[in-house]
Amino acid sequence: MFDPSEKIVLFMDGANLYATAKALGAELDYRRMLAEFQSQAYLLRAYYYTALVEDQEYSSIRPLIDWLDYNGYTVVTKPAKEFVDFQGRRKIKGNMDIEITIDALELSDHYDHLVLFSGDGDFTALVAALQKRGKKVTVVSTKATASPMISDDLRRQADYFMDIADLAKSVGRETESAD
């Protein structure tokens, strides 16, 4: 899938990656993830995108963000928007699609192959635009859940598809069995 001489970048849609791994019951080891991709090609940079709720005293994602930031990832965050839906339920919205798209296009002169960790069909146009610029794109998501976490259009547009269920075999965190 990767040519050892090509420059690759990883773009991780944090919320989408988390939801996919959770749906699979997989826990990813981000240190092993970097090592895995570094062993296959020249890894230029690994980006992790996520929205954060600013006014929370404690955020469950903060320890992960801090760890990623100190261990080789470029973390891109923005404040999440909080709103009340029409049924009066509190909702949090923190879509990073635009940030991922702009960064992927702006940096495209510096890499050969983008590895996108997201199944969001909104990225289909980004993949097509990068391919027009001569870039290869691998999409990382899963088809192994009851309802697929990847858009069929995105999977078809990508040059390669990598299933997180398979990737987790080499970069998954060892979990204790409940026997």
121 vs 174, which has greater pLDDT? 121
d(CA 9, CA 43): 6
Predicted local confidence at residue 141, as pLDDT: 95
Residue 20 belongs to some domain of the structure = yes
Per-residue confidence (pLDDT) for residue 118, from 0 to 100: 96
Q: At what angle do helices 30-38 and 164-171 cross, to 10 degrees?
A: 100
- Tell me how crowded residue 140 is: count the other CB atoms within 10 A of its CB: 25
Tens digits of residue pLDDT in 144-173: 888 888 999 999 999 999 999 999 888 987
| pTM recorded for the entire structure | 0.90
d(CA 8, CA 3): 10
CATH code where residue 34 lies: 3.40.50.1010
- 111 with 135: CB under 8 angstroms? yes
On whether residue 161 sits in a domain, the answer given is yes
Helix, strand or coil for residue 158? coil
pLDDT of residue 149: 87
| Long-range Cβ pairs for the range 166-173 (8 Å, 24+) | 167/36, 167/140, 168/21, 168/24, 168/26, 168/28, 170/32, 170/36, 171/28, 171/29, 171/32, 171/33, 171/36, 172/26, 172/27, 172/28, 172/29, 172/32, 173/27, 173/28, 173/29, 173/32
Q: Are 140 and 152 in contact (CB under 8 A)?
A: no
How many Å separate Cα 59 from the centre of its chain? 20
Looking at residue 102, its pLDDT comes to 98
Average pLDDT (2-13) is: 96
Distance CA 23, CA 32 (A): 20
Give the range of the structural domain holding residue 114, as residue numbers without chain letter: 7-171
Domains in the chain: how many in total?
1
Q: What is the pLDDT of residue 37?
A: 96
Q: Which residues pair with 52 in a beta bridge?
A: 79
Residue 2 is assigned to a structural domain of this protein: no
178 has pLDDT over 60: no
In this prediction, residue 56 carries a pLDDT of 65
Question: Is 24 among the domain residues?
Answer: yes
For the stretch 15-62, pLDDT in tens is 999 889 989 988 899 999 999 999 999 999 999 999 987 766 667 788
**Gap between the Cα atoms of 68 and 162, Å rounded:** 22
